[in-house]
Chains A and B, each alone.
Chain A
Amino acid sequence: MSRNKPVKYSALGLFKRGLSGKEWPRVWRDVELKKTYDVVIIGAGVHGLSTAYYLAKNHGVKNVAVVDRAYVGGGGSGRNTAILRSNYLTPEGVRFYDRSVDLYRHLAADLNFNVMFAPRGHLTLAHNDGALRTMRWRAEVNKVQGIDSEVIGPEEIKKLVPYMDVSDETRYPILGALYHPPGGIIRHDAVNWGYARAADAMGVEIHQKTEVLGINTAGGKVTGVRTNRGDVSAPIVINCTAGWATLIADMAGVKLPIITHPLQAAVTEPVQMFLSSVVVSGSLHVYVSQTDRGELVFGASTDPYAAYSMRSSLEFTEELAGHVLELMPSISKMRVLRQWSGLCDITPDFSPIMGFTEVEGFLVDVGWGTYGFKAGPASGEAMAQLAATNKTPEIISAFDLARFEEGRLASERGAAAVGH
């Protein structure tokens, strides 16, 4: 198997290249699709790429193809609002997402790629007693798991975010917030590219513009996939396709309890840094953070009906602007630069589905809804272990597909996102 030797990135290397004016080499290879692999991963987003990376790095499984209908990070992995946190509601959820934040913290060094992780702190606002009660619950669950998380009052919020209107003059006065200092933001494209580059360097093949048209099975076992570039045989096929997850699973005859909803987001023109924390408001259906470039990134709740359409709407921008101005009236003159939409694969309990299906060798890493990006490294690590050892790692054992049949739902409805 050919190995790709990527250039080692460093400040000195950058300086030298700048002086010599030499072109940078391709970051990952573009190779012919082979006829057979040990593992085929469908979906070149953060989940697919991190699974491939950890398969090669931790388990020595390098004959792996990551195939994607479009391009690396073109789905949810490049459309999310890049927020990281681990202050979930169930102990299983908290442990899992904390592992992810932990991996993210060291990712730049692991991948030799600057992923621009900024642990600036994360605030979830409570505008009513019910929300405040859930915050206290979450804070206690978090503390038991060793996660830095506490409920703070309006004065402390004002200190962290001076531009926030914490008065009781507003329509939905702020009663308090769940403050999670290790939370923050990261550059999502860099994470995708970093994983792709590092996986490729170990021999993993990334095939963009390679659409899976069918999944071949024989005797209840998966045997490979049919693509627009020909048939590929593999004993293990992993579905990491988020919003399109049910379409792929249908090809293998596996039904998933998932509904696809679009989620819209928007970004403003860049301004000087004034907002250090990530601010989330469930009641107002909005989350805001400021990127290193100075743009404000806004996300909302999912659109209220199932759809695969990724069109943006004016009603979304209007509603979003109203909600953001309720929190921070002083930014009313800022202009929205662009808006976009991504697809979320929502499960009934707002927890993901990872693991085996009734078709042997057909594994799923889906149902990520609105919280998939922050889970990327931990799910990749766990799915790689599962695929390599054929055993479910303890950290994801609560998130199997069988839980829906057996009535063991892992309800994260209260902490997964906003506006559910």
Chain B
Amino acid sequence: MAGKTLYDKVFDAHVVRREADGTCLLYIDRHLVHEVTSPQAFEGLKIAQRQPWRTSSMLAVPDHNIPTKDLDKGITDPVSRLQVETLDKNCRDFGVTEFNLGDPRQGIVHVMGPEQGATLPGMTVVCGDSHTSTHGAFGALAHGIGTSEVEHVMATQCLIQKKMKNMRVNVAGKVGKGVTAKDIVLAIIGKIGTAGGTGYAIEFAGEAIRDLSMEGRMTVCNMAIEGGARAGMIAVDDTTIAYVKGRPYAPKGEDWDKAVTAWQDLHSDADAVFDLEITLDAASIQPQVTWGTSPEMVVAVSGMTPDPEQESDSTKANSIRAALKYMGLAANQPINTIAVDKVFIGSCTNSRIEDLRAAAAVAKGRKVASNIKLAMVVPGSGLVKAQAEREGLDKIFREAGFEWREPGCSMCLAMNADRLEPGERCASTSNRNFEGRQGQGGRTHLVSPEMAAAAAVTGHFVDVRTL
């Protein structure tokens, strides 16, 4: 019998029941909750007079609607405020732990979970949010679910699920200097396409992945969903274990030793069989910039926008044309000639301490270019913010002309006041460049924190390695 993949191991360890057709009841260890996708689920429980199965599995935090400045004024938008207050009330009513607004642990749900050690190797982790794939960086099986499933997990601690297929993406060799986790994952999506991972759990492997810090691994897994895969995973190693150790929700004492022993098995067996394997040469990956309205529309910063006339498939040619039109770009336009209006450093993809350090290193001693209307840095959580301030990163950013904001999702999806105006162009470290994502008519280019900072100080896209 062939060995098991990492995904097989974690999935199989959580099967409560398996029906003849392969439909499984899958046990969920950790359920993260935020204000946007939970109110209807809590309401469903109330209507059916059900109680959550195990509140200790749940951890809630408001993030999407949170303002990033003038927090003393509270949330001024009444609709946003009601949603956050509804989460507070539901958590009180059902006895769910919540890090409220004002708690230093509050932040983007996918930054907060790992930071607290609430995400552990080998766990099943769900959240009503597609970027739950982030937590797969810990060798956990983590994916986004819809609100009905949120209610289902609350009520039963289980999900009804069939096994996905296995894909492995090998990033072989070492990346060059100045090439980041974000560039790796954008290059992967550029290669497999936004639907390339549909139906699969992706395991990211290879030397370039092993070389990444946990922050970098989270960046990669975060965007698995942009490649169509609900779950991205990375095998557990010493980097993983060192990161988890000592965190508030991590096991302690004897439990810690037992856990570490159990986690040693969280990798794919040497003879495991994948339904699909893809290999990228790390050395050939350059800093990436998306030019279009889907994360797969991405090129190296040294490249240019595509030419629809050169595309033989008419559906593809049409989508290139539509994307260029929306983005206000011409065909064959060199990426480094594109000027930007706003810069956003933040989101669950790139708002961890290491991301802020990398961006600050570029900003240090430089000034935001005069054509930039706003360059903002939004830390992923209150704890990241505090750490960055201890290291003096806030000063570096402020001196360079960046705004230093309070933690939250912010302009990643513009549910709060931070947004693009129609036609504005943004260098953003977030994960989606869909039409209108950062504000109606806004134009988003996805880049790494280093590349975003470089765009801020030069006013246009530029290869950060040449600064």
Q: Do A and B bind each other?
A: no
Interface residues of B (CB under 8 A from A): none
Interface residues of A (CB under 8 A from B): none
